[in-house]
């Protein structure tokens, strides 16, 4: 299978021949940071355009069609508009926390990118507790939202932040239990080990009905965790203006806006890795000929294809379902998803112990 490890190995060897070990590490970390920031910028442009085109397709209209060929440059126009807008800080706001909140949202998103394997042998940090690391760091995202709501000195912002806190903390439980089903079946917290465990079939196919249930619960839970409709209670325009980022404008607002789309990409990348084999091609048992044909498709294409399929699914939710009330949202988690997840994890444990999966 085609691997991107040759690029990283060649770069490391070239740097090692010219600099000391300490300088090589520093330069590589700097290059990795620049690569992630550049990837975020491109991802924001692509996903914003994709959102607008998908919504237009769902509503049988054209969507962006003026700036560039077929509206393809609309995202650049939106970015330019945000760049030239003045960033305002309201009177009475806690200026330190107000300015830190959007930066913190982006930093947390950058940290979450580290253990994700984008292709075969192409990963920023191959940590042996990758799943635990992602679960722990993603929990910090609620802090930036609470900081923004509190520091804005605005009742609507504070209400939106408190709603978001309750929502994220609640749905983390179901998302964590859904992730745990794959950890139990794979026997590892390492992202690469989980991908390699799916060499003869993705868990969504070979894990039986409990894994399908876990996948459905995971998609619902991460949609709520990223504050996406129909779970966008933290930004309910009809009730709270714009929720926790009501007082933000210019690049500060752009950072929150970008962080939302980056987080959608990250949760979909995690879902693709855990349930759909990550960068692993579609293999069927001992069908060697078929499997070799699948191996011709680069691993990065497999990974991005699966990730964008899940992103499309989450966008489909937004343009299909009305917004829930806050009581309905919490009832869905505590009365339905969490009990189902707890029973489901017992079924998965039994399947793993008895070896009933394929």
* Other CB atoms within 10 A of residue 153 CB: 15
Tell me if 71 is assigned to some domain.
no
> Does 1 score more than 60 pLDDT?
no
Instruction: Give me the percent of the chain exceeding a pLDDT of 70.
Output: 95
How does DSSP assign 222-290, residue by residue?
HHHHTT-TTS-GGG-HHHHTTGGGTT--HHHHHHHHHHHHHHHHHHHHHHHHHHS-TT-----TT-HHH
Tell me if 107 is assigned to some domain.
yes
> Does 247 score more than 70 pLDDT?
yes
pLDDT in tens, 14-45: 888 887 888 888 888 888 888 888 888 899 89
Tell me if 328 is assigned to some domain.
yes
pLDDT in tens, 309-334: 999 999 998 888 888 888 888 899 99
Read off the pLDDT band of 303 (50, 70, 90).
Answer: very high
Q: Name the pTM for this structure.
A: 0.90
Tell me if 145 is assigned to some domain.
yes
How far is residue 340 from each of residues 84, 174, 205, 255, measured CA to CA in Å? Answer: 49, 9, 20, 36
Domain count, the chain: 1
Tell me if 11 is assigned to some domain.
no
Range of the domain at 214: 88-354
Tell me if 229 is assigned to some domain.
yes
Task: Determine the 3-state secondary structure of 69 from DSSP.
Answer: helix
How far is residue 166 from each of residues 140, 170, 351, measured CA to CA in Å? Answer: 13, 6, 33
User: Looking at 23-32, 212-221, 279-288, which range is the least confident one?
Assistant: 279-288
Instruction: Give me the percent of the chain exceeding a pLDDT of 90.
Output: 27
Tell me if 60 is assigned to some domain.
no
Place of tokens 């079939």: 201
> Does 54 score more than 60 pLDDT?
yes
Read off the pLDDT band of 53 (50, 70, 90).
Answer: very high
Strands (E), 89-234: 117-119, 122-123
> Does 357 score more than 70 pLDDT?
no
Rounded to 5 degrees, φ, ψ at 117 are -90, 110
Task: Say how far residue 96 (Cα) sits from the centre of its chain.
Answer: 27
Tell me if 20 is assigned to some domain.
no
Read off the pLDDT band of 343 (50, 70, 90).
Answer: very high
Predicted local confidence at residue 70, as pLDDT = 85
Predicted local confidence at residue 4, as pLDDT = 64
> Does 2 score more than 60 pLDDT?
no
Taking a C-beta distance cutoff of 8 angstroms, is the pair 76, 67 a contact? yes
CA distance 130 to 13: 26
Predicted local confidence at residue 183, as pLDDT = 93
Structure tokens at 202: 């993705």
pLDDT in tens, 140-174: 888 888 898 889 888 888 888 888 888 888 899 99
> Does 287 score more than 90 pLDDT?
no
Predicted local confidence at residue 5, as pLDDT = 66
């Amino acid at each position: 299978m085609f691997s991107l490890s040759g690029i990283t190995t060649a770069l490391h060897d070239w740097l090692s021949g010219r600099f000391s070990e300490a300088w090589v590490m520093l330069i590589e970390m700097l290059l990795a940071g620049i690569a992630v920031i550049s990837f975020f910028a491109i991802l924001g442009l692509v996903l914003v355009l994709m959102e607008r085109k998908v919504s237009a397709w769902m509503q049988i209209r054209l969507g962006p069609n003026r700036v560039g060929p077929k509206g393809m440059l609309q995202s650049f126009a939106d970015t330019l508009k945000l760049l030239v807008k003045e960033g305002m800080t309201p009177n009475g706001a806690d200026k330190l926390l107000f300015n830190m909140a959007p930066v913190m949202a982006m930093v947390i998103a950058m940290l979450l990118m580290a253990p994700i394997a984008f292709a075969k042998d192409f990963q920023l940090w191959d940590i042996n507790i990758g799943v635990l690391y992602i679960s722990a760091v993603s929990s910090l995202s609620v802090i930036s939202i609470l900081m923004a709501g509190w520091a804005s000195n605005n009742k609507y912002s504070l209400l939106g932040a408190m709603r978001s806190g309750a929502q994220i903390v609640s749905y983390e439980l179901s998302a964590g239990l859904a992730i745990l089903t794959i950890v139990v079946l794979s026997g590892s917290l390492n992202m690469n080990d989980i991908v390699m465990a799916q060499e003869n079939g993705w868990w969504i196919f070979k894990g039986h009905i409990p894994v399908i249930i876990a996948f459905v619960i995971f998609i619902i839970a991460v949609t709520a965790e990223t504050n996406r409709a129909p779970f966008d209670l933290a930004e309910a325009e009809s009730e709270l203006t714009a929720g926790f980022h009501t007082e933000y404008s210019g690049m500060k607002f752009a950072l929150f806006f970008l962080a939302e789309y980056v987080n959608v990409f990250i949760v979909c990348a995690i879902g693709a890795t855990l349930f759909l084999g990550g960068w692993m091609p579609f293999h069927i048992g001992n069908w060697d000929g078929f499997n070799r044909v699948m191996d011709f498709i680069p691993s990065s294409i497999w990974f991005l294809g699966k990730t964008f399929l899940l992103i499309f699914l989450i966008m489909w939710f937004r343009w299909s379902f009305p917004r829930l009330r806050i009581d309905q949202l919490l009832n869905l988690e505590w009365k339905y998803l969490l009990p189902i997840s707890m029973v489901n994890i017992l079924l998965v444990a039994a399947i793993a112990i008895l070896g009933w999966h394929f």
